[in-house]
Amino acid sequence: MTTTKLAVLAVAAAFAVPAYAQMNIPGVTKTKEVEKLSKSDISKEMVFKKSDIDACKDEAKKKEPKVSGNLAARFKVNPDGTTTDITMVDSKLQNSAFGTCMSNKIKGWTFSKAKQKSESYDLVTAF
Protein backbone atom coordinates (compact mmCIF):
# COMPACT_ATOMS: atom_id res chain seq x y z
CA MET A 1 0.00 0.00 0.00
CA THR A 2 1.38 3.41 -0.89
CA THR A 3 2.21 6.08 1.65
CA THR A 4 -0.53 8.31 0.23
CA LYS A 5 -3.20 5.62 0.70
CA LEU A 6 -2.02 4.99 4.25
CA ALA A 7 -2.17 8.71 5.01
CA VAL A 8 -5.71 8.95 3.64
CA LEU A 9 -6.80 5.95 5.72
CA ALA A 10 -5.20 7.43 8.84
CA VAL A 11 -7.02 10.75 8.35
CA ALA A 12 -10.33 8.95 7.71
CA ALA A 13 -9.90 6.84 10.83
CA ALA A 14 -9.13 9.94 12.91
CA PHE A 15 -12.44 11.52 11.91
CA ALA A 16 -14.45 8.33 12.34
CA VAL A 17 -14.77 8.65 16.09
CA PRO A 18 -17.39 6.35 17.61
CA ALA A 19 -20.55 7.99 18.89
CA TYR A 20 -19.67 7.29 22.51
CA ALA A 21 -17.32 9.43 24.55
CA GLN A 22 -14.56 8.25 26.85
CA MET A 23 -14.63 9.56 30.40
CA ASN A 24 -11.07 9.55 31.72
CA ILE A 25 -11.01 9.20 35.47
CA PRO A 26 -7.60 8.38 36.94
CA GLY A 27 -7.34 4.59 37.18
CA VAL A 28 -10.83 4.03 35.65
CA THR A 29 -12.02 4.30 32.06
CA LYS A 30 -15.76 4.15 31.38
CA THR A 31 -17.67 4.29 28.12
CA LYS A 32 -20.64 6.63 28.08
CA GLU A 33 -23.41 5.74 25.65
CA VAL A 34 -25.03 8.64 23.81
CA GLU A 35 -28.76 9.28 24.04
CA LYS A 36 -29.33 9.07 20.28
CA LEU A 37 -26.98 8.85 17.28
CA SER A 38 -27.03 12.09 15.33
CA LYS A 39 -26.73 12.32 11.56
CA SER A 40 -23.19 13.54 12.14
CA ASP A 41 -22.39 10.43 14.23
CA ILE A 42 -23.71 8.17 11.48
CA SER A 43 -21.82 10.12 8.81
CA LYS A 44 -18.55 9.63 10.67
CA GLU A 45 -19.10 5.88 10.78
CA MET A 46 -20.12 5.79 7.08
CA VAL A 47 -16.40 6.10 6.24
CA PHE A 48 -16.15 2.40 7.07
CA LYS A 49 -19.08 1.51 4.78
CA LYS A 50 -17.51 2.92 1.59
CA SER A 51 -16.11 -0.46 0.54
CA ASP A 52 -19.63 -1.93 0.64
CA ILE A 53 -20.93 0.87 -1.58
CA ASP A 54 -18.04 0.45 -4.03
CA ALA A 55 -18.59 -3.33 -4.15
CA CYS A 56 -22.26 -2.80 -5.04
CA LYS A 57 -21.31 -0.33 -7.77
CA ASP A 58 -18.79 -2.76 -9.28
CA GLU A 59 -21.20 -5.70 -9.14
CA ALA A 60 -24.09 -3.69 -10.61
CA LYS A 61 -21.99 -2.21 -13.45
CA LYS A 62 -21.20 -5.75 -14.61
CA LYS A 63 -24.91 -6.66 -14.68
CA GLU A 64 -26.31 -3.34 -15.95
CA PRO A 65 -23.51 -1.31 -17.59
CA LYS A 66 -25.84 1.33 -19.07
CA VAL A 67 -27.80 2.11 -15.90
CA SER A 68 -26.86 5.30 -14.09
CA GLY A 69 -28.30 7.81 -11.68
CA ASN A 70 -28.33 8.66 -8.00
CA LEU A 71 -29.43 6.25 -5.34
CA ALA A 72 -31.07 7.71 -2.27
CA ALA A 73 -31.57 5.34 0.63
CA ARG A 74 -33.09 6.23 4.00
CA PHE A 75 -32.62 4.27 7.19
CA LYS A 76 -32.56 4.56 10.97
CA VAL A 77 -30.24 2.98 13.52
CA ASN A 78 -31.67 0.95 16.40
CA PRO A 79 -30.30 1.36 19.94
CA ASP A 80 -28.29 -1.87 19.47
CA GLY A 81 -26.56 -0.38 16.40
CA THR A 82 -28.43 -2.38 13.73
CA THR A 83 -30.23 -0.66 10.85
CA THR A 84 -34.00 -0.48 10.45
CA ASP A 85 -36.71 1.27 8.41
CA ILE A 86 -34.66 0.92 5.21
CA THR A 87 -36.25 2.44 2.11
CA MET A 88 -34.95 3.31 -1.32
CA VAL A 89 -36.14 6.83 -2.04
CA ASP A 90 -35.05 7.01 -5.70
CA SER A 91 -37.57 4.80 -7.51
CA LYS A 92 -35.48 4.55 -10.73
CA LEU A 93 -32.71 2.53 -9.07
CA GLN A 94 -34.88 0.85 -6.42
CA ASN A 95 -35.25 -2.43 -8.33
CA SER A 96 -31.91 -2.26 -10.10
CA ALA A 97 -28.97 -4.52 -9.25
CA PHE A 98 -27.37 -1.56 -7.47
CA GLY A 99 -30.49 -0.79 -5.43
CA THR A 100 -30.93 -4.42 -4.41
CA CYS A 101 -27.27 -4.78 -3.44
CA MET A 102 -27.31 -1.54 -1.42
CA SER A 103 -30.50 -2.55 0.39
CA ASN A 104 -28.90 -5.85 1.38
CA LYS A 105 -25.67 -4.16 2.49
CA ILE A 106 -27.51 -1.57 4.59
CA LYS A 107 -29.48 -4.36 6.32
CA GLY A 108 -26.17 -5.83 7.49
CA TRP A 109 -24.54 -2.61 8.70
CA THR A 110 -23.99 -1.87 12.37
CA PHE A 111 -23.22 1.40 14.07
CA SER A 112 -22.40 2.52 17.60
CA LYS A 113 -24.98 1.81 20.26
CA ALA A 114 -27.21 4.48 21.76
CA LYS A 115 -30.12 4.68 24.19
CA GLN A 116 -32.72 5.56 21.52
CA LYS A 117 -33.36 4.88 17.83
CA SER A 118 -31.78 7.50 15.56
CA GLU A 119 -33.60 9.91 13.32
CA SER A 120 -33.72 9.02 9.61
CA TYR A 121 -30.38 9.15 7.83
CA ASP A 122 -30.29 9.77 4.08
CA LEU A 123 -27.52 8.18 2.06
CA VAL A 124 -27.16 9.53 -1.47
CA THR A 125 -24.64 8.04 -3.85
CA ALA A 126 -24.10 8.38 -7.60
CA PHE A 127 -24.14 5.31 -9.79
Q: How far is CA 38 from CA 18, 44, 98, 111, in A?
A: 11, 10, 27, 11
Write down the pTM of the prediction.
0.71
Closest CA to 20 of 35, 8, 5: 35
Beta bridge partners of 32: 21
What's the rounded Cα separation, in Å, for the pair 117 and 85?
11
> Confidence class of residue 37 from pLDDT cuts 50, 70 and 90?
very high
pLDDT of 81-111, one tens digit each? 999 999 988 667 778 898 899 999 999 999 9
The boundaries of the domain holding residue 70 are 3-126
One-letter amino acid of 92 = K
Give the residue-averaged pLDDT of 46-61.
94
pLDDT of 3-12, one tens digit each? 454 444 444 4
Work out how many domains the chain is built from and give that number.
1
